[in-house]
Structure 1
Amino acid sequence: MMKVPSIQLVAIDLDGTLLDDDKRITAETLQTIQAVMARGVSVVLASGRPWCSVLPYARQLELSTPIIAHSGAYMADETGRVYADQTLEAAAGQAVIRMLEEAGYYFKVYCRDVFYVQAPIQETLDFSRIYQVPYQAVGKGRLAWLDKPVNRIMIYDRPERIEAVQKLLLPWADVFSYARDSARGLDILPRGVNKGSALRLLCSRLQLDLEKVMAIGNEGNDIEMICEAGLGVAMGNSCSELKTCAAAVTAGNQAEGVAQALKIYVLQE
């Protein structure tokens, strides 16, 4: 039987993990998280979304812990107190943006809680509406001139185009980090930044041993977080790479996977 550490903090991914396919926290998951917190265990949300898009769920759960947003590039609590705000190196970021524009990719440039595009497409409108994130269109070929610190660039395209762009990004391999959040999405982040590095920073501030942390996720941008935690749990709907590195696999997000994992490894029911 797997030896389970005494869990003091649980880090949970949002989409495909905490939320069902309708972007909701189910009643059972909510009750289970409340039971976990009643035992003195902290809960942290860790997402690729901007902070403003995660905040409503943190408030629903009545969390006071910092939110890990932008796949680790930004971290702030529900009052807006900032714990980390990491941005892309400006010159290299501009060069990558120019390359993406010239190659005809659709991508979003995230500056804290706003994203910028050349021109809106249906994905822009849908994403802004569903995830409640404001956007601004700056015009074709104008994103490289954006005079703002950039937390993250997110490329969204067909899977084969995402595979191809990774080769185009090789000249900047020593400058940025990359994370796949789906077959059609690729994140460009500051070097060394990911959910795992953010979790490590948070635990250092809280003077908490990572061995007493449980992390739950489902996509490629959760891998470092799963590996950093003392107990990494993959959702049943996870990508195969995440399942390989996780210590345990729970049910999927449509089958109360988060609640199941919390009951087994924290509440020990």
Structure 2
Amino acid sequence: MKPIKGYIFIDIDGTLVDKDLRLNSYDIESIHKALAHDYDVILASGRPTPFVRWMAHQIHESVSVCGFNGADIEGTLLGCIDDTVIKILSNLDLNMIFKNQSGYYSNRLTIPQAFNYDMIGNYPRQMHPLSDILKVLIWVDAKEYDTVKRMLDSIEDISITYYEPKGFELSAKGIDKGKAIIHYVQDNIPIYSIGNDTNDLPMFEVSDASYIVGNKLTGHRVESVSEAIIEILKGGNIE
């Protein structure tokens, strides 16, 4: 096995795909080129791992996966949300989706289409509450955001990603994409990350270079994943 020249962690929604989950052929080609030049490419998403793997298989069989905002990287679970926290959340009158490795459950009959995983076939919606929860998604009306934020901030032993004014993602305490990267990488090998939203900030913090797609965050902006990878490869003297 050849030595790895670098790790490239790529967010999915809003970074690699559009709202209709469409991949760009230029991005796919650039990922293939990075793999061919001995870079390890990892899709890192807040989405469930089965979805991330489904997306990775559309790109290349060698693409690795990190799901649930870093709670699962290449099949290694880094932390489930404490059962006590789940009990507290279950007693709140909020719009929630609870996710584990095998499926998802919602306390609401109807959920936004964006949170439905029928397209991948192996991540079903469950009719009963789940155990071993890796992530909880909460969506709110904008006028409720501040009230719900104060409520969630009072709960201990969780990590919260804030998507003002739409909602929140909850993970086990200390779990995020940055934690997953630290667990996964080898020392002294460059780390690059490409993302677009607040759940990517921990990923950026542990990277040697970060690239931002879109205008939600400040930093080194690029138009696409392919543009970022071109810069990364040029830094490695690969044209």
- Alignment partner of 1:112 is 2:101: yes
Q: In the alignment, which residue of structure 2 is the partner of 1:160?
A: 143
- Alignment partner of 1:262 is 2:229: yes
State the shift of 1:158 in Å.
1.9
- Alignment partner of 1:134 is 2:134: no
State the shift of 1:215 in Å.
0.2
- For 1:94 and 1:60, the matched residues in 2 are separated by 38
State the shift of 1:232 in Å.
1.2
Cα deviation digits, residues 137-175 of structure 1 (max 9, x gap): 34xxxxxxx351111111012233233211001222x41
Q: In the alignment, which residue of structure 2 is the partner of 1:56?
A: 54
- Alignment partner of 1:224 is 2:202: yes
Does the 8 Å CA contact 2:95/2:108 hold for their aligned counterparts?
no
Cα deviation digits, residues 1-39 of structure 1 (max 9, x gap): xxxxx9611000001001133312211111111111111
Does the 8 Å CA contact 1:43/1:63 hold for their aligned counterparts?
no
Aligned pair count? 232
Opposite residue 33 of structure 1, the aligned amino acid is I
By percentage of residues, which structure has more helix?
1
- For 2:10 and 2:141, the matched residues in 1 are separated by 28
Does the 8 Å CA contact 1:195/1:224 hold for their aligned counterparts?
yes
- Alignment partner of 1:239 is 2:228: no
State the shift of 1:130 in Å.
5.3
Q: In the alignment, which residue of structure 1 is the partner of 2:157?
A: 175
Using the aligned pairs only, state the percent identity.
20
- For 2:180 and 2:118, the matched residues in 1 are separated by 27
Cα deviation digits, residues 23-81 of structure 1 (max 9, x gap): 122111111111111111110000010011111221122243541100011222xxxxx
- For 2:172 and 2:108, the matched residues in 1 are separated by 25
Q: In the alignment, which residue of structure 2 is the partner of 1:95?
A: 88
- For 2:164 and 2:124, the matched residues in 1 are separated by 22
- Alignment partner of 1:26 is 2:24: yes
Structure 1 unmatched ranges of 5 or more? 1-5, 77-81, 139-145, 252-256
Distance 1:147 1:28, change over 3 A: closer
Structure 2 unmatched ranges of 5 or more? none
Q: In the alignment, which residue of structure 2 is the partner of 1:254?
A: none
Provide the aligned C-alpha RMSD in A. 2.3
Q: In the alignment, which residue of structure 2 is the partner of 1:79?
A: none
Does the 8 Å CA contact 2:95/2:139 hold for their aligned counterparts?
yes
Cα deviation digits, residues 112-154 of structure 1 (max 9, x gap): 131101232151686234566421234xxxxxxx351111111
- With the length of structure 2 as denominator, give the TM-score of the two structures: 0.88
Choose the corresponding residue for 1:40, options 38, 41, 44. Answer: 38
Does the 8 Å CA contact 1:162/1:186 hold for their aligned counterparts?
no
Opposite residue 205 of structure 2, the aligned amino acid is C
Cα deviation digits, residues 209-231 of structure 1 (max 9, x gap): 36x11000001100000111010
State the shift of 1:96 in Å.
2.2
